Structure formats: C-alpha cells, structure tokens
Chains A and B, each alone.
Chain A
Amino acid sequence: MRARKVKGLDPDGTLADNAQRIVRVRLDEVYAFFPAALEPDAVTELHDLRIAAKRLRYVLEVTADACFGPYAHTAARRMRDLQDLLGEIHDCDVQLPRVEALVAELRDADTRELLRRAGAASDLDPALAADLPHADDWRGLLALESYLRARRALLVERFGAFWRDVEREGLRARLEYAVGERPDAPSDLATTEPAT
C-alpha cells in the first residue's frame, strides 16, 4: 500500500509544523480502513491497516516527545499494539493457506500411492488404504489447521474490542488536538522513543 503524499512540507520550517502535517495524513490513512476492516474476512484491509498503523506509529515515535507531548506518545503505543495484534492475524492468514496446501499435496500423494497399489484392479480394495505414506501426518496437520482458524477468529474478536476501546478513548480527536494545539509539548527535551 503506497503512503499518501503529504503536501506542504518545508525543510526550512520547524520540525513540529512539518510533523503535524505528516501525522494528520497518516491518521486519516488509518481511519480510512474503517468500518471495512472490522469485517471478519477483511484480509486485505487488515493487512493494509497494519501498514498504515505502522506508518503513523513511526512518525509519532520520532516526533511525539520532541513536538507534541504525552498523548502523542500514548497514540504511538496504541498504534504499536494495533500493529502487533494485526501482525498476529496476518501470521494466521499467511500460514493457513500453506498448511492447507501441504495437506492437499500429501492427500494427492496418498491417492497416487493407492492407485499404484491397485495396479490393474477394476475397483479399489479398502484394505489398500491401510498405512498410507502420510497417515501419521494427518493428525498434526489438521490440528494445526484448526488451531490457526480458531486463533484467527479469536484475534479478530479481540481486534474489534481493541478498536472499540480506541474509539471510546477518542484517539483521533485527542491526537489531532495534541498535534494541532500542542498543549503539553516540551520546550527543550530530547526525544526518547518508546521501545518496540
């Protein structure tokens, strides 16, 4: 997902004024994914939202303490938590098709083995299905597949609850106020970025 261009940046302006413009655009980018990202099967939207959250988080980490004060720092932490949660969902979304592909591949291999065992027979003797080459693999692979599906469902629920908390907190309005009005901006503090 390409980042939106931030207009009006001026190398000779102050860091805070330029950072304000960047934060506003990155904040809009995050909110543009709602409500679509709250749909359970919104794989692409969740992936793109994770990237948008990462972009907002990093600009806040660079500028929060130096320019905007404590709420910008809090917003950076919220974006980090959002990014982590979406990352866990993304891991399920990436791993599950690979597990399914391996299951399909092994099933095809066992089918080929059965046909080999059948030889010239006109029908298949059920006894030939005993001890297929991948019989020992099914249990673990199907457990893993089910685990990934169930875990994803739980994480998506948690994401919904997380976002409701963010909305209740009023993150958007509070961050816009922090970067626009800078009520708590430090005047002469060196920045300290949060650990990631």
Chain B
Amino acid sequence: MAKARDIPGLRGDMRYAEAAAETVAVRTQELFDHRAGVLDTSDIERVHAMRVATRRLRAVLEVYAPCFPGSLLRPALADVKELADALGARRDPDVELLALERFAAAVGPRERAGIERFAERTRSAQLAGNARLAAALGRADADDLRGRLEALVEHVGGQRPRPEGPD
C-alpha cells in the first residue's frame, strides 16, 4: 500500500488554518493521483490505493473542519464520502473473492462447488460495486470535486493570520 506523502513544513507551532491548507492540498493531489485504472477488476490494488487516499483526505477534512467555511466544506466532504463508499462497495467483494479463492484452494476439491456457489454472488457484488464506482467517479468529475477541494485550500491558504503582539 502506498505510504502517505509527507506534508512539507508541517509543524506543531504553525497556525491550524495554515496546516489545514498544506495538508488538504497534498491529500487532494494524492487522491486524484490514484485514480487511473481503478475500474479494472483484474488489478484490485488500484481501488485499494484510491480508497486509502480517500480515507486520508476525508480524515484531514474532518480534522481541519473548523478552518473551512461550512458552505464549501460540507458538500465537498459529502462527495468525498460518497466516493469512499463507492470504492468500498468495490473493494469489499474484491477482498472477499481473494479470501474465498484461498479458502477453496486450502480445503480441497470436495468443498469447492459450495464455495464457488457463494463466490458467484460475491462476483455479482463486485460488478455492481464497479458500476457504482464508475457512476461516483463520473459525478465527481461532473461536479468538479477536485476544483472544489482546491478552492477550499485556496480559501484558507489565502487568509492572513491575525496580527500578533500588543496593539
């Protein structure tokens, strides 16, 4: 699994809102970098990598929520969650099919018919999950999710900190 990218210059004593802009910018970039090939069911690691990136982005949006205007954050967060759910709908059957293959190989030929019977359903769930994911990716593009996330970053990144010291 891909390691999360470093957030350059992140420090405990930096302004919370400044940290929000730096962190969300990197996590947004990561999410869209993992997008290529996720609908290919023959390579299940791509969906996994994008799902993890989605979780990381969602987590930082929640951690830094007070730094963003709610009117911008809430719809973006809802769309990231929808994308995460769609990735989960594909990933869960991916993982289950892998486990069923291993189980079938381990137990032997007399058990395989029943396991295959169950796996047929999991494959149907995988196809349904892939269709849901395709739709969610299409909506993310149509609604310019990336642009809206970048707008969040610009919003807090462009704000100046309060002046320090005595008046």
The chain A residue sitting closest to B52, CB to CB, is A196
A residues in contact with B166, CB < 8 Å = none
**A161-196 CB contact bits vs B (8 Å, 1 = yes)?**
000000000000000000000100111111111111
CA distance A131 to B156 in the complex (A): 70
In the assembled complex, B142 has its CB within 8 A of some CB on chain A = no
Q: Nearest Cβ in chain A — how far from B152, in angstroms? A: 13
Q: Judging by beta carbons under 8 Å apart, are A98 and B115 in contact?
A: no
B36 close to A (CB within 8 Å): no
Given A58-B56, A98-B121, does the pair A190, B9 have CB atoms closer than 8 Å? yes
> Could you tell me which residues of chain B, from 31 to 56, have a CB within 8 Å of some CB in chain A?
52, 55-56
Partner of A15, one of B12, B115, B117: B12
Residues of B within 8 A of A59 (CB): 59, 63
Identify the stretch in B72-80, B106-114, B130-138, B143-151 within 8 Å (CB) of chain A at 4 or more residues. Answer: B106-114
Q: Is the CB–CB distance between B117 and A140 below 8 Å?
A: yes
Task: State whether A66 and B12 are in contact (beta carbons under 8 Å apart), knowing that A91-B96, A141-B118, A195-B3 are contacts in the complex.
Answer: yes
| Known contacts A190-B9, A191-B10, A195-B1; A12/B15 CB under 8 A | yes
**Complex interface residues of chain B between 1 and 40 (CB less than 8 A to chain A):** 1-17, 19-20, 23
Contact check, B63 vs A68: say whether CB atoms are below 8 A apart. no
How many B residues have CB within 8 A of the partner chain?
50
Q: Write the nearest CB–CB distance from A141 to chain B, whole angstroms.
A: 4
* Chain B residue nearest in CB terms to A193: B4
Tell me the dominant secondary structure on chain A's binding face: helix
Identity of the chain B residue whose Cβ is nearest the Cβ of A191 in the assembled complex: B10
Out of A18, A58, A61, A188, name the residue touching B16 (CB < 8 Å).
Answer: A18
Is B16 touching A11 in the complex (CB atoms < 8 A)? Answer: yes
Complex: how many Å from CA A147 to CA B103?
Answer: 9
Say how far B56's CB is from chain A's closest CB, in angstroms: 7
CA distance A32 to B17 in the complex (A): 30
**Does chain B have a CB within 8 A of A136?**
yes
Q: Which residues of A contact B23 (CB under 8 A)?
A: 62
Decide if A95 is an interface residue (CB 8 Å cutoff).
Answer: yes
Decide if A137 touches B6 in the complex (CB within 8 Å). Answer: no
Q: Name the one of B9, B12, B62 contacting A182, with C-beta atoms under 8 angstroms.
A: B12
Given A11-B66, A143-B107, A187-B13, 16 new contacts (CB under 8 A): A10-B16, A12-B15, A18-B66, A62-B7, A66-B7, A66-B12, A91-B99, A95-B96, A137-B114, A137-B117, A139-B113, A140-B112, A140-B113, A141-B117, A143-B111, A193-B3
In the A-B complex, the 7 residue pairs with the closest CB atoms? A140-B114, A16-B12, A58-B59, A67-B12, A140-B111, A193-B4, A141-B114
